[in-house]
Structures are given as structure tokens and as C-alpha cells.
A and B are shown apart, each in its own frame.
Chain A
Amino acid sequence: MSHKKSSILHSAIKYFDLYYFLAKQDLQSRFRRSYLGIGWLVIQQLMFALVANMVWSKMFGVDSSTFIPFLVVGIAIWGFIVSSMVESCSIFINARGYLKQFSLPQSVFIFRSLLTNAYYLMIGLITSLVVFIAFNKFSFFGVLYSIPGLLILLVYFYAASGTMAYLGMRYRDFQHALTGLFALLFIVTPVIFPSEILIKKGISIVIYMNPFASLIEVVRHPIINAEFAELTQYAIAIGFTTVLLIFQIILAKRWGRLVPFWA
């Protein structure tokens, strides 16, 4: 009985209490000793947007009242994406105490990370909406239109962090490599500049070849413009997620058995 492998969805439901509890403790313990608590995240996000706005709005010749809301959403989503790839490398390594003692599905630890990071993303998006309201750019339909993109983003997180959990465990220098890679990606991904700028200059390839740009667009574009993003962006985001999911399944088949030895 205990040796049967259960499906992803099945364990997502069966072990909800457990990973919910773990994620909650992760969040609580992170902010337990800090006076501002979760406020630190909000301040960080707002400061970044304000400072970036000072420089880049002049550079790109865009109005601050459209640029600040744009920056704030982008940063929230980018943080979620970086964490899905970089932080996730240590999911199994951090859980090794449990992995060697209990026979729970490995996905429990991926869900734990998904839940923690979804919470951060939610805080980031709520902050963004407040900023939108402050600049009088808020649109209720924008929020509705962003829901499909958000769902894709959540599934993407599961797929990416599961893949990285296996790779980061097998190759211990993978996380360092990714940290460097993502510093680079930040420069070419439209987080602090609008994708239209590159598309207008004729280098749209930088946008369409970068799946992270699509993952940002499918949430950011609807919120800002109160319409769905380009269909291509959804296609790229879903395609990328599917590839990662398949990759994760292959890795779980090959290395899943060895996780208690290796972690």
C-alpha cells in the first residue's frame, strides 16, 4: 500500500494539510523576528519601482504614472520566476531530514515551496493593485483577464521547481550557475522596460525567444491594459510549462528512487 506511487493531483489533495502547515511555518518563521514583517517585501518592491522609475522613465521617455505601475507588477512576477528556478534547487536538499525518514511523495516538498512563493506573489500583486488605484489606473476587468495567465504561472512554478529540485540535488553547483544566469536574464527580460520598445526596434526575437518574458506578459499585460495578452505569449508560456513538466516526470522516473540517497 505505502509503496504505490500516487499521482500529482492525488498527493496535492491528500497531503494538503501537511504542506500547508509547513509553508505557513516557513512564512511565519521568516518574519517572526522582524518588526515590519511582511512589510519588508512591500517596501522592497516599492523602493525598487521608485528608484528604477527615476532613471528609466527618462531614458525611455515614458510617463511616471504609467511606468511605476508597470514596474511594480513586473517585479512581483519576476521574483516569483527567479525563485521557481534558483531557490527550488535546494528543495530536496533542505528536506533531506524528512526524505530519509518518511516515505511521503516528493511532490509534498514542491507544493510546500509553491505555496510559500504563491503567497509572496499574492502580496506583490496586491501591492501592485494598490499602486494602480493610487495612480488611477485600476481596472477590475484587468484583474479578471489576468486570471488565466496567473493559473499558467502557478502550474509553471510547479513544473519548474520540481525540475530544479532534481537537478539542484544531482548537480550541487547548478544553483550557483543559475544565480548568474538569472542576473543576465534580468537584463534581457522586459521587467524594467516595456517589451514594445524592443519589438519596435526590430529585435522582437529577444522577447519571443525568452519564455520568461511570456510568463510575465500573460499576467502583466491583462492587468495594465484590461485585455488578454497576445495569443503567442500564452502559447509560449504553456509550451514552456509543458516542456518543464515532461522534464520533471523524466527526472522523477530516473532519479526519484535515489533522492533519499543523494539529498
Chain B
Amino acid sequence: MNAVELHNVSVDYYLDSDDAYSIKNAVLNFYAKAQKPTAKTFRALDELSFSVKKGEKLGIIGLNGAGKTTLLRTIAGIFHPLKGKVVVNGRVTPLLDFHTGFEDHLTGIENIMIRLMFLGLSKAEAEKKIPEIIEFSELGDFIYQPIRTYSTGMNLRLAFATSTSIEPEILVADEVMGTGDAQFAAKAKKKLEEFLSKECTLILSSHSMELVRDFCKRIIWLQHGKIIADGPVDEVIEKYEKNILEFSL
């Protein structure tokens, strides 16, 4: 059974519109319609089709701007494709920019609750996770302080501990890695290993070949929104690295 299927999926980005998001300019443009250029778009994903089996661990690699994040957001249902169809069987847990989007004026605990509820947990389930997250993040009494008083490291620790506390069905993760000082990084690495090896479908995008090699069996190499290669880990990574070497020489 397939956990995720993509059928000819295309996603376009609208480049900043010529009215610069203001009514004033929109009105002015309306009167100067004659020389108005057509809306500029950028094709981020170009007619992608592939499927991911239930329990499969898929890695997505590619240079910056290849469409990796767009692909993950589309699978997670955040972006809706203009053309094509995305079929998902199961609950998708997105882990994208997971260290952003906290509410500055709320405390650590409140932010954990909100985050977990957004990830699909009920209030009661989220409450149960709290002690474990506080312990792992080593934030101590700071957990009762507003997030704006946190250092960058504390912020990352909170985000990491929260995001890795869930049990996903289909995990869609973008560039996850351990964070913090040497001591926390070691702990985080272990936690991440446990988390990514869970019995779930995994779609992981990363620039770290080591990471995808460790956790994925199959790799898709994206470039300019198209699939360049799709196959077993070592095969695709070898091609990819050879290709990069040629370009950088």
C-alpha cells in the first residue's frame, strides 16, 4: 500500500506582484492596465510523479532551490498543487522549519502545547508529553518564562525536544539535525536516530549525505523541480556527488 502518491504534480510560485501588495498601487495599475505585464510565476515543481510505500524511508537530495522544501510542503498539504494530484493515506506530520513559528510572548510550556496540538495531538495527549520534553530540553524553570527571554540555543533545544516527542505515521522532515553545545548535540543525535528509525513512513530532505545514508533506503534527486534520479541510496548518491564534483571543477 502506498502512503503517498504524486500524480503529475506542478507547483508554481507567484513572484512578488507588480502592485507590491498595496491598494494604492493596485488602483494605479488598474488605470495603467495597458502596459501591465502578465503575472510572473516560477515553476518550483514540474510534473512530478512518484509514490512512497507504507513504511518506506525516502530521502530527497538536491542543490539549493531544487524544490525539496516545496515538495515536502506539498506532500504535507500546506501548498496545493496547481496541476496534478497528491494522494496521502495516513496522517502527515510535518517537521519543516521546526525551530520557527513560536509565539514570543508565550511561555515555553504554552508553546509546547500549541506546537503539539498543531501536530495533531489532543490537549490531553499533549499534556502527557510535557514532563518528558522539559526533561530532555534541560530548560528547567525557564520553561515557565516567555520564549522571548530565551537564547538561540534554548529555543532550538525546546523546538527539537518538542518535535521529536511525537509518534508520526508519515513523517515529512526538512533538514533536521541535532543542535546545541557538544554535550546536547550528542544527546540530540541519539534522540534523532531513535526518532527517524521509528516504524513510520519517512520522507527526509537533507544536504547531509551521511544523514540520508543512515536513515533512508531510497533516494530521489531533484533538480529544477524535476526528478533526475530515483533509486537505491548508494547508487543515487554516487551519481549526485560525481555530478557536483564535475560542476565545481
Report which A residues bind B (CB closer than 8 A): 1-3, 17-18, 21-22, 25, 29, 96-104, 170-174, 177, 257-258, 260-262
Contacts and interface: CB of A to CB of B under 8 A. Distances in A.
Contact of B117 (A18, A96, A173, A260): A18
A17 B122 contact: yes
Contact of B86 (A3, A18, A96): A3
Contacts of A103: 76-78, 92, 94
Given A101-B94, A174-B23, A261-B13, 19 more contacts: A1-B89, A2-B77, A2-B91, A3-B80, A17-B117, A21-B117, A25-B110, A100-B73, A101-B96, A103-B78, A104-B118, A170-B21, A171-B21, A171-B22, A172-B22, A177-B23, A258-B14, A260-B78, A261-B79
Contacts of B26: 171
A3 B80 CA distance: 8
A174 B24 CA distance: 9
B88 A1 contact: yes
Size class of the B contact interface (CB-based, 8 Å):
35 or more
Contacts of A173: 22-24
Nearest to A20: B123
Contacts of B92: 2, 103
Of listed B13, B90, B114, residue having the most chain A CB within 10 A:
B114
B131 interface: no
B98 interface: yes
A18 B118 contact: yes
Given A17-B122, A25-B106, A98 B80 contact: no
The 5 closest A-B pairs by CB, nearest first: A97-B101, A103-B77, A2-B77, A171-B23, A173-B22
A25 B24 contact: no
B97 A100 contact: yes
B233 interface: no
Contacts of B123: 17, 21
B184 to A, nearest CB: 23
Interface in B30-48: none
Nearest to B124: A17
Interface string B1-26: 00000000000011000000111101
Contacts of A97: 100-102
A96 B13 CA distance: 17
Contacts of B90: 1
A160 B237 CA distance: 52
A171 B113 CA distance: 32
A24 B242 CA distance: 54
A46 B106 CA distance: 30
A173 to B, nearest CB: 5
Contact of A100 (B78, B117, B146): B78
14 contacts: A2-B77, A2-B92, A3-B77, A17-B123, A21-B113, A100-B96, A100-B101, A101-B94, A101-B96, A101-B98, A101-B101, A103-B76, A174-B23, A261-B13
A172 B97 CA distance: 25
Contacts of B193: none
Contacts of B110: 25
Interface in B129-183: 146
Contact of B73 (A1, A104, A260): A260
Nearest to A2: B77
A102 B94 contact: yes
Contacts of B102: 97
B70 to A, nearest CB: 10
Contacts of A261: 13-14, 79
Contacts of A262: 21
A244 B42 CA distance: 33
Contacts of B21: 170-172, 262
Contacts of A100: 73, 78, 96-97, 101
